[in-house]
Structure 1
Amino acid sequence: MIRIDGSLYFGSVDYVQKEMARLVREDSKHLIIIAKGINFMDISGVHLLEAEILNGKKVGREVRVCSLKGTVLDEIQSMTSFQSVLKYHLSKNSKEAIAGMLMEIDKEQCRHCPARIFNECTNFPVHHRSPKLL
């Protein structure tokens, strides 16, 4: 999960793209971009998010964008490019994004995960270790 705070426009996309590349592991299968802190987005910002989605697909990573402010969402919905990729990868909030991602993951992998950091994890199987015999 990555949260973007500030405007996502032509003057900031290069920096944001570099920071995302630095923060996201290459083998990550899922990425949620929390956009609650974005207060303005122009076409360059939309292109950046769509590039993250498309590049993620190329390497087998599902990317979701969640929690866009209403005013920002209204503005970008009027853009022609919004009609292509981004609108299919939006979630209303992080809970919806997490739930959507968890529906797609390998439940057997969850069985061995000790973290259980999301509320939704409680619905997944748990690996029970057999007691050690002395």
Structure 2
Amino acid sequence: MRILVIEDAEDLADAVVDSLRGLGHAVDWAADGDEADELLHTEAYQLIILDVMLPGPDGQTLLRQLRRRGDRTPVLVTTARSQIDTKIHLLDLGADDYIVKPFDLRELEARCRALLRRSHGMASPKR
């Protein structure tokens, strides 16, 4: 499966990318909203792992744009914000799941497996 990790903290991004590649996934990494937006317009992904706080367009903006384009790619949001209102807002914007930082990589992997399992067979729009 092809996964896009959108995370500005390089150490966390490296750990997530290494973990997912170790499971056999092809993984791209974007460190800011502009780079992520470019990749999302040119590549097809089966899963997006999206940090909310990013330089450039933030995660909420990227998620909103993605859904407005009709892209149904599953999105797992990662953020340090743990307030219930934030979770509800992001889920209502179109996130498929939510994980609070800091998180255990095993939980992230399990959530990715669940999202990929649920979306299997769901095609994202052609680019």
Q: What TM-score, normalized by structure 1, do the two folds share?
A: 0.45
Q: Which has the larger radius of gyration?
A: 1
TM-score, normalising length: structure 2 = 0.46
